[in-house]
């Protein structure tokens, strides 16, 4: 019964008039996100609530990304922005990771460079993926370490705004002989325990936030009730999928099916944007390319899940 009450309350929140939008600054977004994080029992609920409070895709994506990190790495503090730092010049595949983690008598030493840090210099908590040696099969052994951006030897360099969601900054990262305690290293191989499942976790939470944002637009624009009701059904389904194991192919099948429904649902709204405030519509048209960034990886994940379950 507790879960039923929670779901009922949650649906009611998405039916209520949207809260006042965050001020159009990174600090304003984070203030709203942090306040909502104290009210959400589950990261996916935080993503949906924050999306519903966002008047632009940048803030919705930022909150979905932060919620995904909270789901994948519960020990991260909800009081400061965080970033997963994996991508390098050659990408984020294990063989492309050149950053190195050295074990010493005093703890750990981290060196290397990362190409893309979401939320830029505002990221106070960095989860850095680095090489820890070589596995028995010859592949790199990866570790994930929690690094405060204030640590000596850490340098974040702000990058130019992107063509979409330009309000959300990004940065490059340089790590020079960063000394860390041994307990900064998370257990297990970082690829199998974090990087690989995070792709699914991020998809769930970012799409939840985008869905919440579109429900907000629908509410302020007076879009048809049947369209909004289908959005509520998608939100409830995403909450269920968020509770599944992100490593299992069954989860990938369910998520792939739901994302296909969500894409069709969003496409149905194209004629409705004419009735929305012009600033909302203009931002959506500018920023929606963000949703296509990982399409190829999603397609491969879904195809692999189908193969495994045949």
Residue 8: the pLDDT is: 73
Same domain? 171 vs 207: no
DSSP code of 194?
I
Please state which of the ranges 16-30, 62-76, 198-212, 276-290 shows the lowest mean pLDDT.
16-30
Confidence of residue 136 (pLDDT cuts 50, 70, 90): confident
- Answer with the one of 155, 185, 215 that is the final residue of a domain: 185
Query: Could you give the residue ranges of the DSSP H alpha helices within the chain?
Result: 2-15, 26-37, 43-52, 57-72, 190, 196-221, 225-242, 249-268, 278-287, 295-309
CATH of the domain at 96: 2.40.110.10
Pair 34, 18 in one domain: yes
| CA 61 – CA 220 distance, rounded (Å) | 20
Q: For 198, list phi and psi in degrees, rounded to 5.
A: -65, -30
Domain shared by 204 and 299, yes or no: yes
Mean pLDDT over 165-180 rounds to 97
Final residue of a domain: which of 185, 211, 231?
Answer: 185
* 203 and 240 belong to one structural domain: yes
pLDDT digits over 85-106, tens only? 999 998 888 889 999 999 999 9
Residue 63: give the domain boundaries: 2-73+193-309
What percentage of the chain has pLDDT greater than the value 70? 98
pLDDT level of residue 3 (50, 70, 90 thresholds): very low
Of 185, 203, 220, the last residue of a domain is: 185
> Is residue 231 located within the same domain as residue 140?
no
> How confident is the model over 208-263, as pLDDT tens digits?
999 999 999 999 999 999 999 999 999 999 999 999 999 999 999 999 999 999 99
Are 13 and 41 within one domain?
Answer: yes
pLDDT score recorded for residue 1: 35
Q: Mean of the pLDDT values across residues 35-42?
A: 90
pLDDT at 133 over 90: no
Range scoring the smallest mean pLDDT among 2-6, 37-41, 146-150, 173-177: 2-6
Asked whether residue 126 falls in the same domain as residue 100, the answer is: yes
**According to the model, what pLDDT value does residue 310 have?**
84
What is the tally of structural domains in the chain? 2
Question: What mean pLDDT do residues 116-125 have?
Answer: 96
């Amino acid at each position: 019964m507790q879960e039923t009450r929670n779901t009922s309350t949650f649906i009611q929140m998405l039916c209520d008039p949207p809260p006042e939008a965050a001020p159009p600054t990174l600090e304003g977004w984070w203030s709203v996100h942090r306040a909502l994080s104290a009210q959400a029992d589950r990261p996916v609920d935080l993503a949906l609530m924050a999306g519903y409070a966002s008047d632009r895709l940048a803030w919705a994506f930022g909150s979905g990304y932060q919620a995904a990190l909270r789901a994948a790495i519960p020990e991260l503090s909800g009081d400061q922005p965080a970033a997963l730092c994996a991508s390098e010049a050659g990408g984020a595949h294990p063989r492309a990771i050149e950053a190195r983690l050295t074990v010493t008598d005093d703890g750990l030493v981290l060196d290397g460079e990362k190409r893309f840090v979401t939320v830029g210099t505002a990221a106070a908590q960095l989860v850095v993926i680095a090489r820890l040696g070589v596995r028995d099969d010859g592949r790199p052994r990866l570790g994930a370490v929690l690094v405060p951006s204030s640590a000596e030897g850490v340098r974040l360099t702000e990058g130019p705004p992107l063509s979409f969601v330009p309000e959300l900054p990004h940065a490059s990262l340089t790590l020079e002989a960063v000394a860390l305690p041994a307990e900064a290293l998370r257990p297990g191989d970082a690829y199998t325990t974090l990087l690989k499942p995070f792709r699914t976790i991020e998809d769930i939470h970012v799409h939840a936030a985008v869905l919440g944002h579109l429900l907000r637009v629908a509410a302020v624009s007076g879009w048809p009730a049947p369209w909004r009701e289908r959005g509520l059904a998608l939100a409830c389904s995403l909450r269920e999928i968020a509770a599944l194991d992100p490593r299992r192919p069954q989860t990938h099948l369910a998520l792939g099916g739901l994302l296909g429904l969500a894409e069709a649902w969003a496409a149905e709204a194209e004629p409705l944007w004419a009735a929305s405030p012009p600033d909302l519509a203009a931002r959506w048209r500018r920023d929606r390319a963000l949703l296509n960034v990982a399409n190829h990886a999603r397609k491969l994940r879904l195809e692999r899940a189908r193969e495994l379950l045949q």
